[in-house]
Amino acid sequence: MTWIALITLGGIVALDATSLGQLMLSRPFVAATFAGALVGMPLEGALVGALLEALSLGILPVGAARYPDTGTGAVAAVGTLGLSGVQPTAPALLLVVVYGLLWQRIAGASVVGGRYLNERLVRAGRPGERPRLDRLIEHRHLESIVIDMARGVAITSVALLGALVLPFALNRWALPGIAAALAISLATAAVLAGTAPLFADSRRARLALAAGLVFGSLLAMSL
């Protein structure tokens, strides 16, 4: 049942990314938390999602740009972690984050494939079928949406097979936990700081950033 719930979530998340809604259920942070709730580890899911979120915050879906499908990758990462039954230690988080990043790329490539398919679908609904072109356009449009959901379901189904491999891989990963934690902190801190130019483009924003750094440091010391 959990597996079915996860692949359904994968389909919903794939839809939300572009085709329908864009309510941001497809943000890695949200998708991973929902996936975590389904496998009984919402906090761990949220933390993996936060990691993937930090790594993808600077990706902007501008125009016809090709970008990774971050939500589907997040469901794959957390679903794999939960179904595998391994403890969410720093090495396990590192492995599932890398696994999630890989599936973000694969799912992103499938989005491009889906768009070429849409092109053929929409082109098929042209002059020859003129009598009720309005109905045809609606039909083809809804068909494209269903295909996009099926794409998400298929990608998630295959990605979750990683749960069979994760315990085996974790037993063969031999660096100390601090190395994994440090790699995660270094990578996320660098990428997150790299998004600063998006916001800190004025004196007022730079002051706000500095105030945030002080506040965040105090918060980090108090937790």
Partner 1 sequence: MKRLPTSVRWQVFLRSFAIQGSWNYRTLQGSGFAYALMPVLRWVYSDTERLQDAVIRHSTLFNAHPYLAGIALGAVARMEMDGEDPALIERFKTALRGSLGTLGDRIVWAGWRPACVLLGLVVLLSTSSAFMGVTSFLIVYNAGHLRLRWWALRIGFDGGRQVGELLRDAPLTRWHGFVVTTAAFLLGTALPLIAAGALTENRLDLPWLALPAAAAVAGWFMGTAARLPALVLLAVVTIAGFLVHVVS
Size of the site for partner 1 (CB under 8 A): 111
Residues in the chain: 223
Q: Is 20 in the site for partner 1 (CB under 8 A)?
A: yes
Q: Is 1 in the site for partner 1 (CB under 8 A)?
A: no
Min dist CB 32 to partner 1, Å, is 9
Among 121, 150, 154, 157, binds partner 1 (CB under 8 A): 121
Q: Phi/psi zone of residue 54: left (φ > 0), alpha (ψ -120 to 50 degrees), beta?
A: alpha
Interface of this chain with partner 1, residues 53 to 112, rule: CB under 8 A: 53-55, 57-64, 88-91, 93-95, 97-98, 101
Query: Any alpha helices (H) in the chain, and if so which ranges?
Result: 2-17, 28-38, 42-56, 70-84, 90-124, 133-159, 162-171, 177-194, 196-199, 203-222
Q: Is 40 in the site for partner 1 (CB under 8 A)?
A: no
Site map (CB under 8 A) of partner 1, residues 124-143, x = contact:
-x----xxxxx--xx-xxx-
Min dist CB 6 to partner 1, Å, is 16
Min dist CB 148 to partner 1, Å, is 7
Among 7, 39, 46, 75, binds partner 1 (CB under 8 A): 46
Question: With respect to partner 1, which residue has the nearer C-beta, 164 or 209?
Answer: 209
Distances (CA, A) of 147 to 62, 127, 143: 23, 24, 6
Question: With respect to partner 1, which residue has the nearer C-beta, 154 or 200?
Answer: 200
Taking Cα atoms as reference points, which of 111, 52, 108, 105 lies closest to residue 78? 52
Interface of this chain with partner 1, residues 146 to 175, rule: CB under 8 A: 148, 169, 172-175
DSSP 4: H
Residue position matching structure tokens 């879906």: 61
C-beta neighbour count of 222 within 10 angstroms: 6
